[in-house]
Structure 1
Amino acid sequence: MPDPVANLQALVRLATISRLDPADTDWAPFDALIALLPELYPATHSALSRELVGGHSMLYRWKGRTDASPTVLMAHYDVVSATDEGWSHPPFAAELVGSGDDQLIWGRGTLDDKGSLACILEGVEAQVTAGHQPEADIYLSFGHDEETEGSGARAIVDLLESRGIRPSLVIDEGGAVVEDIFPGVSGPIAVVGVSEKGILSLTLTVEQHGGHASTPPRISATARLAAAIVRLNNRPFRAGFTPTTLEMIRTLGAHASSPLRWIFTNLWLTRPLLLVLFGRLGPETSAMIRTTQAVTMLQASQAANALAERAVATVNIRVAIDSSVADAVEHVRRSIDDPLVRLDVLHPNEPSPVSPTSGPAWQLVRSTIEQTYPGTIVTPYVMMAASDSRYFARISEFVYRFSPFEMSTEERGTLHAIDERMKVSTLFRGVDFYTRLISRL
């Protein structure tokens, strides 16, 4: 029988770090992972076909009994970079520490997103071994560059579209089972992404004559760029509730303690007050109600005594689902209000369509969560990060984002950061979720 812990450890030990420039990527760990999967999951690889797409992404097909619309289960196996510096345990050692409910698997990719990949394959392996055959085809889509550009997922969607395939359900990473995220609501909450924000980056560039720093001009390139950044930072995007966020408030508000329950369930009266409250509670709630902008990278002179001839800032923008890339670019342009600061748009993606919170696909996801995590409140939400699933909205109306893991605030803080790890008990609950789900397909 498969050993989920040992299998995840084996996957984490392969440093499948994706880079913005594919030429900088070490592809040996990617090849090693592709070769390893048939050893870890032999029944799966006997029953399902596999093809490589876009270089290193994998598409599996489990043929169903009928020609009904298929399901797609998604994960990605690339990870963001990590070094040993600052980590309690090396990021690619996959050390198993502790015992009982506190036992942890440490390592980059445990939560994002090799844990999901392992849980999907463990669920398939269990159901194949039990003799299950799905009613309709099940596809497994495993991307190799989600953390950079998602070209593998795009290539998979192109391939499925060329074959006329329209999935009736797509599930990717995203929300999780969390606590203490909503005022007045205690106990676990499963947040399921029914859409995700758009994403783009902008570069703000100032170019002017350089020279020696001992004779600076009144306004240098860096000073002009800094002034533009300050003006932009002082002009946040407008705030507003989308229908999805209002549904989340109503869903969770019905479980809130008084008097918050009354506030959350009488939005016709309290909506303006809640908009102000969400803007002040913290970064997560503030991001729920607007497009966000963050200056993430700065480049200027290469020497301490040289004036910059070119100063560049990169602004990362997450576009609210009731807005657009064009609206975001125009907002930045108006905020900066300086013709000497050039704007260039990089890698724009519009917000994803909103998947329904009723009907068979939603009910299947919801009921499987409730069976796996009894007593959990299930709610839709708008995912603020970007995932490979956004490409699947082109061929399916039913795209949901949910990682079947219990994540504390501290654990969520390790995503793309040091000390990423997963409880062994969390891993087994994730395996249970996908085993249950697949048994119903």
Structure 2
Amino acid sequence: MGKRRTVLLGGLAIVAVVAGMVAVRTATFAPKDIADGSDIRLAAAPTYDLDAAVGHLSAAAQIKTISHQDPAENDIAEWDRLHSWLAATYPATHRAMTRTILPNRTLIYHWRGSDASLAPIIVMAHQDVVPVTEGTENDWNYPPFAGTIAEKAVWGRGTVDDKGSLIGLFEAIEALATDGFQPKRGIYLVSGHDEEAGGSGAVAAAAKLKAEGVRALYTLDEGSVVLRDTPVIDGPAILIGVAEKGYATLKVTANAPGGHSSMPPAETGVTTLARAVLAITEKPFPIEMRGPGAAMIEALAAHKGGTTELAVANQWLLGSVLKKQLSASPSSAAAFHTTIAPTMLQGSPKENVLPQSAIALINYRIAPWNSSADVMARARAAVGDAPVELSWIKRPNEPSRVSSSKSQGWKYVVAAARADAPDAVVAPYLVVAATDSRSMEPISDDVYRFMPMHFTLKETAMIHGTNEHMTIDSFKRMIDFYARLIATSAG
């Protein structure tokens, strides 16, 4: 009896210690290294004609700068048309800034600052748009390249991605230039011609600026938004991309003798390939609470409080439960591991012929703590001695570095965003897609990926999809945000 009593008391003591540790860690929990921008004195947005700005976005959406998978299909005249239209529509901008058009049609604008000792800023938005999926044109409420103004929005391909940002930037700069603004810090506006097809334009622009000795305080490009119904808090959050995942596509090839399908061997090239693909996908990268995704969850949990905060504050005890919850949704899990997605298959050209070569393409989005070398090593380990060849279809893009969430550049972006969403939670974010901004890393202290549009999760589905449209409310927010940001950080 005495022994049982001792064991029981010992157990209760352990529980009390654990409970005490949990309580203390929860009570003292706070997101680390996230500045709120409250020390920034924000400049006011200048006045401008919103109706005219909306008309300009409509006109830009009618210019078909479509990046096809095969660049030979692109109509280069549309890019030239856009450039001429920009020059005619924004005269004050073109008087204040010098314009360079690279041979590939990428644009670089420069507004020289009065103080050469100050590092410049770089703002970005790309010119090109993705095609409309063939056969879906009639699914649109309004023709996809008509730039229709209806239902308090501008409808059309590219109105959100990314001509909304491009025209928003030009409207903001035009208003500032018309208002007599004179920057102390230099301003570069870089607009890639092919972000939707690889981003070679941004690479060329970055190389040119590097050769000129440019070193920017920060770069701002597309990437994330103000999400109205953010998971965890079910409310608004200003999600600022501080990094983006890498991109790589693995080619898995199974060679075989081929032959007639009426006399198949025990294992064909297709079955060998299928086993290899399954072996790779059945060895996923683990969910890890680290990097920008972890920083985002910490910021959201601190705001939410309750059991959510308790779980995040005490990952030493509840980490496995938290990871299980995060992995339940593909959209949330993507921020916490390298993803593996088989996307394309190729085999025989005819149904009754055994292929001599069966090929699968597997697309990876690489987390910041992994590399393409990690991906290849994991794939090789998964297939073992299976008779397949593994190779990259082209050189992978490694993950970006993680930018600071407490730097001066971060503070400028946060302050400008909070002016329009004062009650929103501010959190770092990992962009799971790719942007042109990754090319600016060699010439910029920090790179941020954020557009000040206010979206719900459901509304984000229209990007690259049917019925893409920019609400007039969101467009006004964008113009005001860019104007405040530029005037504050460069003034």
Question: TM-score, normalised to structure 1's length?
Answer: 0.95
Letter in 2 for 1:276: K
**What is residue 182 of structure 1 aligned with on the other side?**
231
Separation in 2, partners of 1:311, 1:131: 63
Identity %: 38
Separation in 2, partners of 1:181, 1:309: 49
**What is residue 316 of structure 1 aligned with on the other side?**
363
Does the 8 Å contact 2:291/2:368 carry over to 1?
no
Does the 8 Å contact 2:121/2:187 carry over to 1?
yes
Separation in 1, partners of 2:345, 2:282: 18
**What is residue 403 of structure 2 aligned with on the other side?**
355
Does the 8 Å contact 2:157/2:468 carry over to 1?
yes
Q: How is 1:363-382 mapped onto 2 (pairs within 5 angstroms)?
A: 363-382=411-430
Q: How is 1:155-304 mapped onto 2 (pairs within 5 angstroms)?
A: 155-183=204-232, 185-280=233-328, 282-304=329-351
1:277-307 Cα offsets, whole Å, 9 max, x none, are 2112x01111111100111112222222222
CA RMSD in angstroms, aligned pairs only:
1.6
The count of aligned residue pairs is: 435
Does the 8 Å contact 1:210/1:307 carry over to 2?
yes
Shift of residue 257, structure 1, vs aligned partner:
4.6
Does the 8 Å contact 1:242/1:321 carry over to 2?
no
Letter in 2 for 1:133: Q
Separation in 2, partners of 1:109, 1:10: 12
Q: Which moved more, 1:305-314 or 1:370-379?
A: 305-314
2:145 matches 1:95: no
Separation in 2, partners of 1:86, 1:218: 47
Q: How is 1:105-184 mapped onto 2 (pairs within 5 angstroms)?
A: 105-183=154-232
Shift of residue 13, structure 1, vs aligned partner:
1.1
**What is residue 5 of structure 1 aligned with on the other side?**
54
Separation in 2, partners of 1:436, 1:262: 37
**What is residue 75 of structure 1 aligned with on the other side?**
125
**What is residue 44 of structure 2 aligned with on the other side?**
none
Letter in 2 for 1:428: K
Separation in 2, partners of 1:343, 1:54: 36
Shift of residue 268, structure 1, vs aligned partner:
4.4
Look up the SS of the partner of 2:154 in the other structure. Answer: strand
Q: Which moved more, 1:138-147 or 1:353-362?
A: 353-362
Letter in 1 for 2:226: V
Distance 1:337 1:17, change over 3 A: farther
Shift of residue 136, structure 1, vs aligned partner:
0.9
Residue 36 of structure 1, aligned match among 85, 88, 95? 85
Separation in 1, partners of 2:301, 2:346: 45
Letter in 1 for 2:244: E
Distance 1:338 1:180, change over 3 A: farther
More helix by share: 2
Does the 8 Å contact 1:171/1:401 carry over to 2?
yes
Q: Which moved more, 1:300-309 or 1:168-177?
A: 300-309
Separation in 1, partners of 2:288, 2:312: 16
Distance 1:238 1:24, change over 3 A: same
Letter in 2 for 1:119: G
Separation in 2, partners of 1:54, 1:327: 37
Does the 8 Å contact 1:206/1:224 carry over to 2?
yes
Separation in 2, partners of 1:222, 1:4: 55
Letter in 2 for 1:395: I
2:410 matches 1:387: no
Q: Which moved more, 1:253-262 or 1:120-129?
A: 253-262
Shift of residue 262, structure 1, vs aligned partner:
2.5
Separation in 1, partners of 2:467, 2:261: 42
* Structure 1 segments of 4+ aligned residues over 6 angstroms from their partners: none
Shift of residue 54, structure 1, vs aligned partner:
4.6
Look up the SS of the partner of 2:376 in the other structure. Answer: helix
1:117-170 Cα offsets, whole Å, 9 max, x none, are 111111101100100011111000000111111110000110111011100010
Letter in 2 for 1:72: I
Does the 8 Å contact 1:279/1:285 carry over to 2?
yes
Letter in 2 for 1:121: F
**What is residue 24 of structure 1 aligned with on the other side?**
73
Structure whose alpha-carbon radius of gyration is higher: 2
1:334-377 Cα offsets, whole Å, 9 max, x none, are 22234422111123011111111112111111111101222111
1:221-255 Cα offsets, whole Å, 9 max, x none, are 22221222222221111221224322222211111
Q: Which moved more, 1:33-42 or 1:260-269?
A: 260-269
Does the 8 Å contact 2:371/2:398 carry over to 1?
yes
